[in-house]
Amino acid sequence: MVDVLRIKDLIVEYTTQRGTARAVDRVSLTLGENRTLGLAGESGCGKSTLGRSLMKLVPYPGKIVSGDIILNIDHDITWKKGTIKKGDVSILELNDDQLRMIRGSEIAYIFQDPMTSLNPMLSIGKHFIQIQQAHDPTIEDEQALERAKEVLESLGILAERVDDYPHQFSGGMRQRVMIGLGLVLRPRLLIADEPTTSLDVIVEAQILEEMAELKEKFNLTMILITHNLGVLAQTADDVAIMYTGRLAELAPTEALFENPQHPYTEALLQSVPDVTKPDKKLAWIPGAPPDLVNPPDGCMFNPRCPFAMDICKQEEPPLIQSDTGGLVACHLYGRS
C-alpha cells in the first residue's frame, strides 16, 4: 500500500501581539491509500490549522515553522509553466505556481461552513468552470459545464441548477456543491473540515453516507475533521485525537473506541451522549484547555487529568506504541 500522505514533525505557530501560540506541535502522521483518518479534539486544538497546512494555506498570521509534508502523486502534472513529476512531493518546498496546481486537483479541501464558502456573485456553474480552467486552461466553458452537470447529478442535484446562484440553495445542497467542487478534478486526498457541523442531523447523516460512497467510487484518501466522535466511529479507519496541537492518541477506530488509552480520549468518549443508554451520566472534562501562548510544563493535559502524577508536571510524555496497536502520549504507559 502506498502512503498518500506523510507528515513529519510539523510545527505551525501563530504569532500575535500576545505572543506565539503553537497550534500544531510536532505532529507526525502517515496516511495509507484509500484510508480515512478521523481527526478529533476540542475546539481550538489545532485541527483546522493542521488540515490547512497540508495545502500550505495557513491563515494569517500563522506560519509553518518546521517539519515536512510529503504527498504522493500518481501521475505527472504538467502545465504551461512547469511540471511536477509523479512520486513523492514535498509540499513545503513547492513554489506558489506548483502549489496552485496541487490545490484543488490533488488535495481538495471542504470547509466547515457551506453558506460562506461559495462566491455569492458567481453561479454554481461558474465555480465549476473556474476550478477546471485553473488547472487546464484549454477546457472550454461548455465542456466544463457538462462535467459540472454530471458531478451535480451524481450528488443528487438537478443538472439545470448549474445556472443558479449560491443563495438559491439550502445549506445541505451547498455542501453537496462544495463536495462536487472538491471531487470534480478527482483529487487523491480529500480533507473535510467539519463538513456537516452546520447542518441538521438528517442532512448530516445523508451527506456522510454520500461521502463514504464517493470515497469508494473515487478511490479517495480522506482526512475527516470533526468533534463529533460518533461520526468517526462509523466512517474512519483510524482516529487521531489532538490536544493543544499535539497528538494525544492515534489508533485504529475500533481499538480507540473500545479501549481508549489516553485519559483525554477516555474523557472525550465519556462526554458523547449515547441514545441507547439514556441513564448514563455524561461526564465532562473539568477545566479548559491551556492557553497556547503560556502552556503548562510537562504534559499539556496534566492540570485536567484525573491520573496526573508528579512526572506529568515535569516531563512531556513521548508518543509511544500502545498495546492496542496505536500510539499514545501518556506517562501511564511505557514504563514498567
Partner 1 sequence: MSLRSYIIGRVLMTIPMVMFLLTLVFIILRVIPGDPALLHFEKNVDPATLEAFKQRLGMDKPIWEQYFDYLGGLAVGDLGISMQDFAPISEHIAGRFPATLELTIYSIIFAVLFGVALGVKSSKTYDRPTDHGIRLFGIVTYAIPVFFLGMILQFIFGIWLQVLPVNGRFDPHYAPPTRITGMYTIDALLTMNTFALIIALRYILLPSITLGTVLCGIFVRLTRTNMLETIRMDFVVAAEARGLSDRVITYGYALRNAFLPIMTMIGLQFAALLAGAVLTETTFNLLGLGTYLIDRINHRDYTGIQGTVVVFGILVSIVTLVMDILYAYLDPRIRL
Ligand X SMILES: Nc1ncnc2c1ncn2[C@@H]1O[C@H](COP(=O)(O)OP(=O)(O)OP(=O)(O)O)[C@@H](O)[C@H]1O
134 touches, from ligand X, partner 1, Mg ion, none (C-beta below 5 to 8 Å by class): partner 1
12/305 with CB nearer Mg ion = 12
Strands 62-73 and 3-16: antiparallel
**Residue nearest Mg ion by beta-carbon distance:** 48
From candidates 178, 207, 225, 268, binder to partner 1 by CB under 8 A: 178
101 touches, from ligand X, Mg ion, partner 1, none (C-beta below 5 to 8 Å by class): partner 1
139-152 CB burial, b ≥16 within 10 A, e <16: eeeeebbebbbebb
| Amino acid letter, residue 238 | D
135 touches, from partner 1, ligand X, Mg ion, none (C-beta below 5 to 8 Å by class): partner 1
Q: Cβ 169 to partner 1, closest distance in Å? A: 12
39/251 with CB nearer partner 1 = 39
10 Å CB burial of residue 335 (0-12, 13-18, 19+) is exposed
| CA neighbor of 91 nearest in space, from 81, 82, 101 | 101
| Residue ranges that bind ligand X, judged by CB under 6 A | 14, 16, 21, 23, 43-49, 59, 61-62, 227, 292
122/269 with CB nearer partner 1 = 122
By the rule CB under 8 A, 77 interacts with partner 1: no
Task: Report d(CA 163, CA 178) in Å as an integer.
Answer: 15
26/227 with CB nearer ligand X = 227
**For residue 30, what is the DSSP state?**
E
By the rule CB under 8 A, 189 interacts with partner 1: no
Question: Where in 90-119 is the site for Mg ion (CB under 5 A)?
Answer: none
User: CA quadruple 122, 124, 126, 128: dihedral positive or negative?
Assistant: positive
The continuous run of DSSP H or E covering 50 comes out as helix 47-53
Q: Cβ 249 to partner 1, closest distance in Å? A: 28
- Site size toward partner 1, by CB under 8 A: 31
Neighbours of 118 (CB within 10 A): 20
Task: Report d(CA 235, CA 145) in Å as an integer.
Answer: 31
**Binding region for Mg ion (CB under 5 A):** 48
